[in-house]
Structure 1
Amino acid sequence: MSTTAEEAASPDPPHSNAEYRDRLRELPPSAKLVAKVLESDAPLSQGQLVEESLLPDRTVRYALNRLEEVGLVDSRYSFKDARKHVYFLTR
C-alpha cells in the first residue's frame, strides 16, 4: 500500500469552490503554481515543493507565506520528520 499516514490525513482541496478560486486569482503566479502542486500531491514539505514546482526555495517560501495569509494553505509537523513542516490546502 502506497498511502502514508500524511497523505491520509490531508484534507481534500476545494478545487471547484468559487471563493477559493477568487482568493487564488489575486495571488502571484508562483503562489498559483504552488497551490496547483498541492492540489495534486499534498501534504508536501517546502523542499518537496521546490522539487515539484521547479521554483527557487525563496520563491516557494514567498508563495507559501502568501497562501497562508489568505487562508488557502495550512501546515503541520511532518509525521516522518518532526523537524519539518508539511503544507496542504485548507478546506
Structure 2
Amino acid sequence: MSKGNVVLVVNCRIKPGKVEELMAALKENAEAARTTEPGCLQFDVLVDPEDPTRIMYYEVYRDQAAIEAHAQTEHHKKWYTVGPPMLDVRERSDFIRVAP
C-alpha cells in the first residue's frame, strides 16, 4: 500500500445532559489543532441532525509523527481529560488516505 496521510475517524455517543459541554471542549481542541499544529491538515466535527448526542470527528495528519506530536499538546491533553468521561461510546478507527 502506498503511503499517505493518517486519518482518525472517531464515532461517539454523548452522555445525556453533556452535549453542550462536550461539544465546546471538542471544538476547542479541533480549532487549536487546526491553527497551531502544522501536521494537522484537517479536523472536522460532525453531528447527527436527528440526534445531537451522536457525533463523529475526522482528523487528518501529515504522518504518524504529526499524530504523536498532537498527543503531546496541551489542548489535546485537556480534551482527553475532560472529553471521554462525557461519552457513553467512543470508537476510533485509523486509516491511511490514499486519494486525493
TM-score, normalization by structure 1: 0.35
TM-score, normalization by structure 2: 0.33
Select the structure with the greater relative contact order (CA < 8 A; seq sep ≥ 6): 2
Larger radius of gyration: 2
Decide which structure has greater helix share: 1
Decide which structure has greater strand share: 2
